[in-house]
Structure 1
Amino acid sequence: MSELYMMVTITNRQLTRKFVECYKENGAQVGSVTVGMGTAANEILDYFGLDGMEKSVLFHLVTDAAWRQIKAALRKKMQIDLPGMGIAFIIPVSSVGGKKALNYLTCGQEFVKGEESTLKETKNELLVVIANHGYTELVMDAAREVHAAGGTVIHAKGTGTENAQQFLGVTLVPEKEMLFIVVKSEQKNSIMRAIMEKAGLESKAQSIVFSLPVTDTAGMRLMEEMGET
């Protein structure tokens, strides 16, 4: 059985293409790229040889075997341990909405489905929805129908979309929006199902959704109290 993770990479924008190519060479074909800004103090930047320029944030789904291979390539080929190169880390994935989406997100990786994430006792989950640009309201309308609260949207560019026809049977555009929604664990399946049915691959949004376990929260007391009434 394989474990599945979301791999997050933060690096300087000029290195984005090199990281994407490194990941493709080591099995992570599909991903999303967005832009961020570093906030470290000047003395920290100087110590690590970094700068305050815009950053690229990359998201890929990887198996445990793929992560081991990628981690070795990051150290050997990308020399990620040198100051200024960036950082990569992984977060366990709870579930993916649909077999087609799973096959697409892990294309090129050998994946044997087992149980959901070992973090089974979490009260909340983070839903990550990747949708075509301009269709986040369609996604949120579907989620709200089953009592999801609000979400946060970031603009992104998809990588590996040329594989979509093979694994999904559809053509995907590179321009994407990523939507992050924190939900109660007991609501997760119904909300994911609603998104797949009303804003999924057969819709204009062409959404793909997966979930990550959330170990603790702050600022969600009102949602918790409303759920208890």
Structure 2
Amino acid sequence: MTIQHHPDDDLLLALAAGSLARGHSVVVASHLEHCAHCRQRVELLEAVGGAMLDALPPALLAPEALARTMAAIDAPVKRTGARPSAPHPALPAGMCWPQSLVGCSATRWRWLGPGMRWSRVTLPDDAAANVFLLRIGAGKNLPAHTHSDCELTQVLYGAFHDGRARFGPGDFDEADGSFEHQPVVEAGGECICLASVDGRVLFKGAIARTLGALVGM
């Protein structure tokens, strides 16, 4: 797997600092699972952050800090399996769930349009996160659209081209309102992506906008 497109350093820094929105962090983490380059970048950013903390002057803890820490240590740990919780949609042979989705649930595949299906992903620690899977058939395309805010997409299977570049297995894309694009899946096979959206996907055309609203995109 040759990965051509990666998250920028701002996203990796937010992930390392624990400040990235939960939905976005799931998508970025799924990229890191197959990208040694980005894992090394995150390790470097974490090391830099640790060094900066070490350089700060000592500060007194709140009186109840120790008690809260001990209570958190003693709290029971909820263990999850190696796959998303049922129900979950079927996947092509040889495709595995990203480890970042452990503990999440995903609906069955739902019709979105001819050759297009989607699945809502629910995060146990952030039910409001707008995360979903898209499964688009060979040669099919999403309607042309832009974004009110930000969409992060990780290609899990197959490949598409959106007029800017080709995105294959393992590739990551960040899209916003600065451009309009229309992802078209390659003719050789279907494409499955994991996506997290802040704001709305702004489709062109009344039918596409209606379908997008029904899906919550």
Does TM, normalized by the shorter one, top 0.5?
Answer: no
TM-score, length basis structure 2: 0.30
Task: Pick 1 or 2: higher relative contact order, CA cutoff 8 A, min separation 6.
Answer: 1
Structure with the higher fraction of residues in helix conformation: 1
Bigger radius of gyration among the two: 2
